[in-house]
Amino acid sequence: MPKKRIVIISIIFLLLVGVIVCMSVFNLKTINISGCETVDEETVRAAIEQEYFSGNTLIVYLESKLKPIEDIPFVAKMDISISSANEIDVMVYEKSIAGCVEYMNGYVYFDKDGIVLDASNELIAGVPCIKGLNFTEWEMGKKLPIDDESRFQSILSITQLIDKYELEIDGIEFTAENEIVLFHKGITIELGEGEYLAIQMMNLGSILEGLEGMEGTLYMKDFNSDNATASFSKK
């Protein structure tokens, strides 16, 4: 047998052995997921198993680099690494949600700049929901389609201040009189038209701490740097 043919056959044999070893040794059994706060881990796991269905640790890793999964709701990106021959680690980076607005029978979620992140039929716990806004359409990755620019800026200011001061706000409502109302557990917070938002939100956390466990209405319409007074009416 010619020496060249022997070399070719040897190379093919080694490649076949390598493939067999790869398929038998790198058998994916465990997917470790971290970084999920809003997103359900099982949703991420199901997406990985569906997209990278080979079941081989090495192949799944390579596929994740060549073809990242981009359609998991509220997930910005994922980093997949190999921790052992049968195990991968998945680090999930979630989109930063500032709030949501009601739309038809669901909710449209946006970031701190008012850019639409995603939509869902479910209300995510801990995300402020805004009521009193009307629009007929929206587009992923675009600014919320709110015609009233001043109201839009008020929304962004409120959600950014909620995040800055780590406030627990369940909902935000714009009344027919264009006044802003917040909701915290059993407490309704009246802020007026928003001219004192910065000082109101800066002090709101400490005020709510003193009202822990109570229900009623907190009046802060005239709360400002010159008049740091709020009143509370129990329910």
Q: Please spell the DSSP secondary structure of 47-82, one letter per residue.
A: HHHHHSTT-BHHHHHHHHHHS----STTEEEEEEEE
The CATH number of the domain holding residue 116 is: 3.40.50
Domain boundary among 94, 109, 134: 94
- Taken as a whole, the chain contains a residue count of 235
Shared domain for 163 and 56, answered yes or no, is no
Token representation of residue 129: 């929901």
Range of the domain at 107: 99-234
- Judge if 203 and 107 occupy the same domain: yes
- Average pLDDT, integer, range 71-100: 90
Are 175 and 108 within one domain? yes
In a domain, 196, yes or no: yes
34 and 138 housed in the same domain:
no
Phi/psi of residue 62, nearest 5 degrees: -65, -40
From 10-24, 60-74, 155-169, the region with the lowest mean pLDDT: 10-24
The verdict on 49 and 157 lying in the same domain is no
pTM for this structure? 0.69
For residue 175, the model assigns a pLDDT of 86
Q: How many CA atoms lie within 13 A of 47 on its CB side?
A: 20
Domain boundary among 94, 125, 152: 94
* 224 and 124 co-located in one domain: yes
Q: What is the pLDDT of residue 68?
A: 92
DSSP state for residue 141 in the 8-state scheme: T
In-domain check, residue 21:
no
Domain with residue 72: its CATH number is 3.10.20.310
Residue 229: the pLDDT is 84
Same domain, 60 and 104: no
Is the pLDDT higher at 154 or at 46?
46
109 and 70 within one domain: no
Between the alpha carbon of residue 5 and those of residues 15, 19, 65, 193, 198, the distances in Å are: 15, 21, 36, 85, 80
How many domains does the chain contain in total? 2
Contacts of 21 (CB under 8 A, 6+ apart): none
**Model pLDDT for residues 154-206, shown as the tens digit of each residue:** 888 888 899 899 999 999 998 888 899 999 989 999 999 888 899 999 999 99
Answer for the pair 191, 221: CB distance below 8 angstroms, yes or no: yes
pLDDT given for residue 8 in this prediction:
57
Residue 11: what pLDDT?
Answer: 64
Angle, CA 152 vertex, CA 101 and CA 106 arms, to 5° = 10
Q: Helix crossing, 197-210 with 149-164: angle to 10°?
A: 40
Q: Write the pLDDT tens digit of every residue in 124-148.
A: 888 888 887 777 788 888 888 877 7
Band of pLDDT at residue 23, cut at 50, 70 and 90: low
Last residue of a domain, one of 47, 65, 94: 94
Same-domain check for residues 83 and 141? no
Query: Residue 56 pLDDT more than 80?
Result: yes
On whether both 125 and 182 belong to a single domain, the answer is yes
Residue 55 shares a structural domain with residue 158: no
